[in-house]
């Protein structure tokens, strides 16, 4: 059985193709101004990577910011459900995932799972870009560094500088002022990451902090934020390989579950 999950995010669109819970391909492309076109591109890339055609796909689920923009999907599912399912499947070496932190391009989500892996509670910051991928892009531009370098630079900090503003506009002004004062870039970046970790920890407290903590989304690729979160929580925060694909993977897993449920029950290898 071959299925696909497509996560159409505000910044990037991801596609994951599964066959019997084995990942055949996973691809990513910028969403841009046309979510439908981005979904088509991501799906086409994933099919090429897996040496498949569109006709080989038995079920497609779309999720994310632009999930209703595509017409070729069989069903839409919220990113909360898909994120929870993907995190469960990816797992963590230290035990069952109980708290999920998803840092995306335009929002942050914290999901609490119960002992059975079901969603117990969640909180989402989708009204303000503070602490999101977009926030980091603005800070990188102000500091004249590449977005992908922020994490490694912050790990070199010896004296992180506290950033008091959580609003993107005010934080930008604060960082510009610190640069004018000749403050060290590494210390400023570490302070930015610390402020993001503080914002996330406040969200975690709303749903109840539980071990094990799973960190996903594009923002999880930033090692500086991961370190800041560990300092904040005083515990290991697990980042899986390919954290930006957790939601698309979850969508594919749900697609497989739905498709399996629609098949005739098997008895002795024969359909009833």
Distance CA 56, CA 203 (A): 41
Of 61-70, 126-135, 187-196, the range with the lowest mean pLDDT is 126-135
DSSP code, position 130: T
Domain spanning 1-91+242-272, CATH architecture: 2-Layer Sandwich (3.30)
Name the more confident of 147 and 106: 147
- Whose tokens are 């084995």? That residue is 22
pLDDT given for residue 129 in this prediction? 65
Domain boundaries 92-239, CATH class: alpha beta
Q: Is the pLDDT of residue 41 over 70?
A: yes
Name the more confident of 71 and 241: 241
Task: Name the band, by pLDDT with cuts 50, 70 and 90, for residue 143.
Answer: very high
Task: Name the band, by pLDDT with cuts 50, 70 and 90, for residue 203.
Answer: very high
Token representation of residue 136: 């980091």
pLDDT given for residue 254 in this prediction? 97
**39: part of which helix (H) or strand (E)?**
helix 35-50
- Taking Cα atoms as reference points, which of 270, 266, 254 lies closest to residue 59? 254
Beta-carbon contacts of residue 270 (< 8 Å; ≥ 6 apart): none
Residue extents of the structural domains in the chain: 1-91+242-272, 92-239
- Longest pairwise C-alpha distance within the chain: 76
Task: Decide if 1-91+242-272 and 92-239 have a common fold.
Answer: yes
Q: How many CB atoms lie within 10 A of CB 15?
A: 31
pLDDT given for residue 272 in this prediction? 29
Beta-carbon contacts of residue 82 (< 8 Å; ≥ 6 apart): 5, 7, 61, 63, 247, 248, 250, 251, 254
Beta-carbon contacts of residue 142 (< 8 Å; ≥ 6 apart): 172, 175, 176, 179
DSSP code, position 265: P
pLDDT given for residue 116 in this prediction? 92
Distance CA 242, CA 216 (A): 8
Question: In the chain, what percentage of residues exceed pLDDT 90?
Answer: 81
pLDDT tens for each residue of 71-85: 888 999 999 999 999
**Threshold 0.85, pTM exceeds:** yes
pLDDT tens for each residue of 174-194: 999 999 999 999 999 999 999
Q: What is the rounded average pLDDT for all residues in the chain?
A: 92
């Amino acid at each position: 059985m071959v299925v696909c999950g497509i996560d159409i995010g505000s910044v990037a669109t991801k596609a994951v193709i599964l066959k019997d819970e084995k990942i055949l391909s996973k691809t990513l492309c910028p969403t841009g101004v046309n979510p439908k076109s981005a979904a088509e591109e991501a799906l086409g890339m994933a099919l090429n990577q897996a040496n498949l055609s569109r006709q080989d796909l038995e079920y497609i689920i779309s999720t994310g910011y632009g999930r209703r923009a595509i017409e070729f999907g069989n069903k839409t599912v919220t990113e909360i459900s898909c994120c929870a399912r993907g995190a469960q499947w990816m797992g963590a070496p230290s035990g069952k995932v109980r708290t999920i932190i998803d840092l995306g391009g335009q929002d942050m989500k914290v999901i609490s799972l119960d002992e059975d892996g079901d969603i117990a509670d969640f909180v989402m910051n989708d009204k303000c870009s503070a602490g999101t991928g977009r926030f980091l892009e603005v800070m990188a531009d102000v500091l004249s560094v590449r977005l992908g370098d922020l994490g490694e630079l912050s790990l070199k900090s010896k004296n992180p500088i506290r950033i008091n503003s959580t609003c993107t506009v005010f934080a930008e002004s604060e960082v510009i002022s610190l640069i004018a004062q000749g403050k060290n870039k590494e210390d400023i970046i570490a302070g930015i990451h610390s402020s993001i970790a503080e914002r996330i920890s406040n969200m975690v407290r709303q749903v109840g902090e539980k071990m094990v903590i799973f960190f996903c989304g594009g923002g999880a690729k930033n090692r500086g934020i991961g370190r800041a979160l560990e300092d904040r929580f005083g515990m290991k925060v697990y980042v899986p390989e390919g954290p930006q694909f957790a939601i698309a993977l979850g969508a594919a897993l749900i697609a497989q579950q739905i498709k399996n449920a629609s098949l005739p029950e098997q008895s002795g290898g024969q359909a009833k």
